[in-house]
Amino acid sequence: MLRRAELAGDAHPEWVRAVATSIGEARQAAAPGNAGYGGLDGEPGYLVVMKGNFTLAHHPPGGRPSTGQYVAAVISAATFRLTDRSLSDRDVPLDRYGPVSLLAGGEES
C-alpha cells in the first residue's frame, strides 16, 4: 500500500489502516453511491484507508488533478488486486466493519 501511496503523491502517509469486509461494503464506504460489480460485491475483501496529502495525476484533458487527504482502496481477498479506489477529504470510519489494523504510521490524531 505504501507504493500506492507513493503513486498518489505521498510516499510517507501519516497512517494506513485496513479492515476485512465484503467488496460491496468496502466500495460503498469508499465511494458511496457507486454501482456495484455484480458478483464481486458479496466476495470477501479489504478496505484500506490512507491519510496524507494525495494528488491523482489521472484527470480529463485540460482538467486539474484531484487532491485529497484520504485514499480509500478496495482489495479483493481472493486475488489481492485493487478493485476500486477513491480520493477525498473525508475519512472513512472503518471500525463499523470489524477490528481495524494499523498497517503503517502512527496513531491517528
**pTM of the full structure:** 0.82
| Domain count across the chain | 1
> The cell 489481492 sits on which residue?
80
d(CA 23, CA 39): 10
Residue 20 forms part of a structural domain: yes
Can you give the pLDDT at residue 107? 61
Mapping DSSP to helix (H, G, I), strand (E, B) and coil, where does residue 54 land? strand
**Closest listed residue to residue 4, CA positions, set 44, 42, 56, 69:** 56
Residue 28 lies in a domain: yes
| pLDDT tens-digit series, residues 20-43 | 999 999 988 888 776 655 667 789
Residue range 93-109, pLDDT digits in tens? 999 999 999 998 876 44
Task: Answer whether residue 109 is part of any domain.
Answer: no
Residue 36 is given by DSSP the state -
Domain range holding 36? 2-104
Identify the pLDDT of residue 59: 63
Contact between 70 and 47 under an 8 Å Cβ cutoff? The reply is: no
Could you read off the pLDDT of 37-88 as tens digits, one per residue? 566 778 999 999 999 998 877 666 777 778 899 999 999 999 999 888 888 8
